[in-house]
Chains A and B, each alone.
Chain A
Amino acid sequence: MPVLELRDVSKSFGALKVAQGISFAVENGEALGIIGPNGAGKSTLFNLITGNVTLDAGSITFDGNDVTRAAPMKRCAAGLGRTFQIPQPFSKLTVFENLLVAAGFGSSATETEAVGRCADILVETGLVEKANATAGSLSLLQRKRLELARALATDPKLLLLDEIAGGLTQGECAALVNTIRAIHARGVSIIWIEHVLHALNSVVERLLVLDFGKVIGIGAPDEIMASKDVREIYLGIEV
């Protein structure tokens, strides 16, 4: 059974159509990558899935339930975790408190369970030494890790990662990919928007290509990367 299913999802901002009849499904335990040029509507698609932006038409089913009109916090409580492309930490709270908010509100954990889980996630994401530092004082890599850690603290069934490897050095990126792989290996489904293709392709089982709010291809990474349309639109290679 698919963990997430979108049917004919459309959204316009005035005359700008950012999503045009998007339909796809993500199977339970699958990792799906999303690529596309800047302005293709990738982050808007995430906002539509999480409910931060309301859709004009279509429907979204998550874990067997229609969540089309559900508020973001309801979707989060149902198991939809997300990161933001530009990290959005709770700057005046500590790293640990950032996770505690997510565990306290986004999951059904008791306070004692939440503390243990947050600490384990901080260890896994390499942030435990910064646990009591304010989130506003973190470096870019640490902020990206905090985005991931905070999303994990909600105990998601499906994790939406928005360009989490962007702006990182190769070493930092490799370490982050290992962490994401470990999360995926635990059975967490993932949708990952990324421009760093080698990182993306080392984790995902399928790729979806978005352009001007339309799905122009979905399939195995090798097939997608070999596709004429994708090479022209996304990679800018004339075929």
Chain B
Amino acid sequence: MPQWGIETKTRASRAFLSVAAIVVAAGIAAPLFLSRSTIQDLFFILTMLVLAQCWNLLAGYAGLVSVGQQAFVGFGAYAMFACVSLAGFDPLIAIVLGGVAATLLSLPLGFFVFRLQGAYFAIGTWVVAEVVRLLLAQWRALGGGTGTSLPNTATRDMWAARLVADLLGVRSAQALDILTYWLALLLACLTMGFIYWLLRTRQGLGLAAIRDNQEAARSVGVDAASLKWAVYVSVAFVTGVCGALIYVQKARISPDAAFSVIDWTAYVIFIVVIGGIGTLEGPIVGVIVFFLLQNTLADYGSWYLLVLGLIGIGVMLFAPRGLWGLFTDRTGIQFFPVRRRLVKRQEDASTDALQGGRDG
């Protein structure tokens, strides 16, 4: 009798694990040898990566194409501002509370948008995000429509920022940049770790089934509605934490900026689409391409958006699985494999992969 087993790891993923550990270690040490502006750039890349991974989980795995994720970025950021400016919390605690607030917001919003399907869901999420923006623009204690700034003392007196300043011998403004960068690095690692773990669980397999065919998934016992809710709410939490973190670093908020559909959703969708939707590697590739394009085209005004749009359309037409999809189709390499391959285990402990498995 053959012994059957599952294998998910590949040669490439084993090698990548070591490379990833080195990259993260280098990332932690980066403030020691990189300039302040480079650290700010890396902060931007990491926070956009977190937002892109969240949107990718929503749209690429749960089939929930939301164009209203700015609701959770803005609400998380405003909740953080309220906790710091009005209630006197430490910004570090307020970042987590920003995530909690976004999670709470996702419950009533989900109640409305989950009644909609496909394109209507997308439009619905945008509409409710606008409603949240308009409501927060009425909050005079936080500057109403024009916005407000974090009190100088709030960020300067953060215990963690003071610790960084003392440890590295830098000024408080630079210490805040380094601290928020480390937090962004931590958030990016945790987010990707969480998503990768989720995709490898039974629930992750259920999500993939829902994405491919919801009706058939329900017929084999998958609770599609509950899984989608769980993804929507968890993504709201991470997006809220990310929004709060972004605005701790920016230290100034306004409804138009915090709820910007271009900054927090359109760019994010661009990153996921050009990188490769439905893969963990895609958003990493996408965010690097996006950052390079943004820097290259920064001096060309509105041409910048036009070129981004054209590239997005080109990729959708000629490489619908994104740049990472193109690469992996040719090489079979996956750094975050989630494919469960059936293998026959022989008595001499060797494994015999069946047809269709690619060990990249």
Q: Interface on A for B, CB 8 Å cutoff? A: 50, 52, 71-73, 76-77, 81-82, 84, 88-98, 100-102, 104-107, 111, 115-116, 118-119, 122, 128-134, 137, 150-151, 153-154
Contact = CB atoms under 8 A, between A and B. Distances in A.
Nearest to B341: A132
Interface residues on B, range: 20 to 34
A73 B209 contact: no
B175 to A, nearest CB: 46
B213 A119 contact: no
B307 interface: no
Interface string B203-215: 0011011011101
B115 interface: no
Interface of B: 2, 4-6, 202, 205-206, 208-209, 211-213, 215-223, 278, 339-342, 353-357
Contact of A130 (B209, B219, B221, B356): B356
A91 B340 contact: no
Contact of B221 (A77, A94, A95): A77
Contacts of B354: 96, 128-132
A58 B357 CA distance: 48
A104 B217 CA distance: 11
B209 A93 contact: yes
A150 B212 CA distance: 15
Contacts of A77: 221
A115 B5 CA distance: 7
Contacts of A133: 355-356
A96 B202 contact: no
A218 B357 CA distance: 48
Max count, chain B CB within 10 A of own CB: residue among A52, A71, A73: A73
Given A73-B223, A96-B341, A105 B212 contact: no
Nearest to B216: A88
Given A101-B206, A153-B220, 4 more contacts: A52-B218, A90-B217, A101-B208, A119-B342
A167 to B, nearest CB: 19
Max count, chain B CB within 10 A of own CB: residue among A102, A132, A151: A132
Contact of A97 (B205, B218, B223, B353): B205
A94 B208 CA distance: 11
Nearest to A91: B212
Contact of B213 (A88, A94, A100, A122): A88
A116 B347 CA distance: 16
Contact of A102 (B211, B220, B340): B220
A92 B221 contact: no
A223 B53 CA distance: 62
A81 B217 CA distance: 12
A127 B43 CA distance: 49
Nearest to B212: A90
Nearest to A93: B208
18 contacts: A52-B218, A71-B218, A72-B219, A73-B221, A89-B212, A96-B340, A97-B340, A101-B205, A101-B208, A101-B217, A105-B222, A105-B223, A106-B221, A115-B342, A119-B2, A129-B354, A132-B339, A150-B220
B276 to A, nearest CB: 13
Nearest to A135: B212
B206 A104 contact: yes
Given A90-B209, A97-B340, A73 B218 contact: yes
Max count, chain B CB within 10 A of own CB: residue among A73, A101, A115, A131: A101
